[in-house]
Every structure is written in C-alpha cells, then in structure tokens.
Structure 1
Amino acid sequence: MLLHDNPFWRFSLSLYQLKRIKDACLQLQDDSGANINLVFFAIWTAQQRLRFSPDWRNSFIQFENWHRDYTLQLRRQRNELKLIAEKADRNEDGPLHRMREHIQKAELLAEQQEQAVLYFYYQERQGLLDCENREAALIENLAHCFDDPRLVEDEPLKVLLNIMLDERDVELTSVRLREYLEKRFIRQQGTNPTT
C-alpha cells in the first residue's frame, strides 16, 4: 500500500516552498531534464545515510514509467495549453485557463504518486544501500539524476547542496559532484557509442 502523505512528501513540500529552491529545481528541470522528485529523493535518502545501488534503475522502473507516461505528459499538456490560453482566452478566468489549472492539479497528483512510489522503495530499501558518509551518498545520488553534465549549471546544484551541507562545504562538494558527473558521463559514452 502506497502512502501518499509521508515524511518524504512533506520534506519535498517544505523545500519547494522556498523560492530559491523552487527556482533552482525549475532551472534543472527545464535545462537538464532532471526529475525533481528524484533529485529530492537523492537528497532525502542521503540524509538517511542511503545511496542508490548500482542497479537502482532496474529497481525504480515503476517510478520511471509513471514519470514518462503520466507526469511528463501532463506537464507537456499544461505548458502547451498555457500558450494557447494566452493567445485565445483574454479572460484569465476563461475556460482554457481553468482547464490548465485542472491539468496542473492533475500534474501535482501525478508527482505525489511518484513520491509515494519512491517512499515505498525507501521503506523496502529497494534500489538503496547503506552509506555511512552522507556527503558521499549525496554526491552519488545526485549524479544519478542527470544524464548529461554539460546541461547542468553549477548554481542550482549549489542551492540544492546547501539543503544538506554547511555553506563552507558547498563549494568543495560542488566541485566533487561535477567531477563525479563528468566521469560517469564519460564512462557511459564509452559503453554506449551510439549516443
């Protein structure tokens, strides 16, 4: 049974209410294609001294399918409808704007479903391993959230690192994360020559 109101969901809501974190998340989502629910899970599990296992993608397949089939589709519809509504519906309370609001609510519910699935993985320790070093877990977990480090800006990463780390540690950890991202990307390119 999935718990939709769980500690991870409340953690994410409390973070997303902070403008600097919301802005950083939207930048990473829009510019690098990051799944912000996975980013928050990476941070939250690192706080719990857990890191993603090497086969985490196989373990998180239900989450990734849901994200692709529902959350991203609703987000695409919401964004497209925004443009259509702005051109066709001068009244901000018009039918197209109201329709967009309904889609936005459905998108939020889809994201809550994603988080409930991730919380289930946490409860079952599915795709997760113990890790004594929280900073190492944070770097490894976040590195799995981005496919191409060339699309990831440093500033939003630093905002997210600051959630868990002291200001004095953010810069050094940011450099370590960047190095880890780039090494991982090079390894993936070497094993997948078609990209």
Structure 2
Amino acid sequence: MAIFSTAVFPPSQLWDYAVKLYNDAGVSAACLRLQDRRGLDVNMLLFCLWAAASGRGRLSEEELRAGIAAGQRWQAEVVAPLRHVRRFLKGPISPADNRLASELGRGVADGELFAEHMEIQFLNEILNRPATGSFGVEERGGAAADNLTAYLNHVTETIDTEDLSDLLIIWQQAFPEADPRLTGLFAA
C-alpha cells in the first residue's frame, strides 16, 4: 500500500525523462555509484542531461547555482536522512520485529521517492525557458556533457576514470546516437 500519491504533482517532462532514463539498470547503477562515491545528487545529474536533451541547451551559471543550492539543502535535510533510515531498516533490527521493520522500510522508501520527486519538481521550476527543439543530437549531447562538467566543477575537486566511466554510461543512454569523443568531457 503506497503512503503517498504522485497524483498530487503537476505533469513534469523532467520527471518523466528522469524516470525513463533511471529505469535503465546500467544508468541507475552508475548514478548510485556516483552518489555513494562522490556524493553527487542524482537528480542534478539527470537535470543536467534533461536540460540539453529537451532542447534547452546549456544551463546558465545562475540556473546551475540555483539547482545546486536547492538540491544540496533538500538532499541534506530530507532525502539523506530518509535514505539512511531506509538502508538501516534493511538489516536485522534487534530487538524490533524484522517483519515490522521491513514494512516500515517500504513506507520510508515511498517517502524517499516522494522527496526525490519533490526535488525534481523544484529543479523543473528553475529552468523555465522553453525548449527550442532546434538542436541536433551531437549538439544536445555536447551541451549535456558541458552541463555535467559545470555541475562537477561546482561540487567535486577530482574526477577519476571510474567517475568518467559511470558518467559515460549515463550519457550514452541519454544520447545513444551521439559520439562522446566530440564532447569536452569524454574527448580524451
């Protein structure tokens, strides 16, 4: 039984895009590795890709900063605590009944997903310019790589080959017809 209803959310192309992309097993695994290894916000990664994929191009510095600030606070205050509780409840919980802990875990997981949807909603509102739809796949892929690079430059000092490999998995699923060597991020 779901605790929360997604029907309360207005329609969102960003949410639809994020769910579709994240439902790919390789993408979700790469996103979670980047989240756990580097503390990256999966929603921001998907937002960076969607901005370009949707024909909105490169994020402005103001859009990027607004998304990072809002996401960091929301992740720290809401999502991360829910994630911590959900992960804690996966193990044996003595003296609590494990069956009850499992039920509670499902409710917390629903809450975590609802909180992630809320973050996507306010990221969607940051980028309120219309899509032009006039960009080719290579240009959209390049803009997405630039958005990812700009995001990474704001939130981490180092990117290693594992990080690039995971980013490439995500990027290639988002832009399967584009050549990663034509981007600044994957050119090397």
* Aligned amino acid, residue 115 of structure 2: A
What secondary structure, in the 3-state scheme, does the structure 2 residue paired with 1:83 have? coil
What residue in structure 2 maps to residue 55 of structure 1? 62
Structure 1 residues 69-108: aligned runs within 5 Å: 69-85=77-93, 94-108=99-113
* Aligned amino acid, residue 70 of structure 1: V
What secondary structure, in the 3-state scheme, does the structure 2 residue paired with 1:39 have? helix
Q: Which runs of 5+ in 1 are unaligned?
A: 126-130, 181-195
Partners in 1 of 2:14 and 2:82 — Cα distance?
Answer: 22
Partners in 2 of 1:137 and 1:157 — Cα distance?
Answer: 14
CA 1:89/1:179 → structure 2, altered by over 3 Å: closer, same or farther? farther
What secondary structure, in the 3-state scheme, does the structure 1 residue paired with 2:61 have? coil
Partners in 2 of 1:89 and 1:83 — Cα distance?
Answer: 11
* Aligned amino acid, residue 177 of structure 1: L
State the Cα distance separating 1:17 from its structure 2 match: 1.7
CA 1:81/1:51 → structure 2, altered by over 3 Å: closer, same or farther? same
CA 1:44/1:81 → structure 2, altered by over 3 Å: closer, same or farther? same
State the Cα distance separating 1:106 from its structure 2 match: 0.5
Backbone CA RMSD of aligned residues: 2.9
State the Cα distance separating 1:156 from its structure 2 match: 1.5
Partners in 1 of 2:120 and 2:62 — Cα distance?
Answer: 19
Structure 1 residues 1-195: aligned runs within 5 Å: 3-47=9-53, 48-60=55-67, 61-85=69-93, 94-123=99-128, 133-146=139-152, 147=156, 148-150=158-160, 152-166=162-176, 169-170=179-180, 172-173=181-182, 176-177=184-185
Partners in 1 of 2:56 and 2:185 — Cα distance?
Answer: 17
Partners in 2 of 1:20 and 1:152 — Cα distance?
Answer: 14
* Aligned amino acid, residue 161 of structure 1: W
TM-score normalised per structure 2: 0.75
Render the CA deviation track for 1:25-63: whole Å, top value 9, x for unaligned.
111111121111111110000112322222345423333
State the Cα distance separating 1:80 from its structure 2 match: 2.1
Q: Is the 8 A contact 2:168 2:186 kept in 1?
A: no
CA 1:65/1:57 → structure 2, altered by over 3 Å: closer, same or farther? farther
* Aligned amino acid, residue 31 of structure 1: R
Q: Which runs of 5+ in 2 are unaligned?
A: 1-7
Identity of aligned residues (%): 22
* Aligned amino acid, residue 66 of structure 1: W
State the Cα distance separating 1:108 from its structure 2 match: 0.2
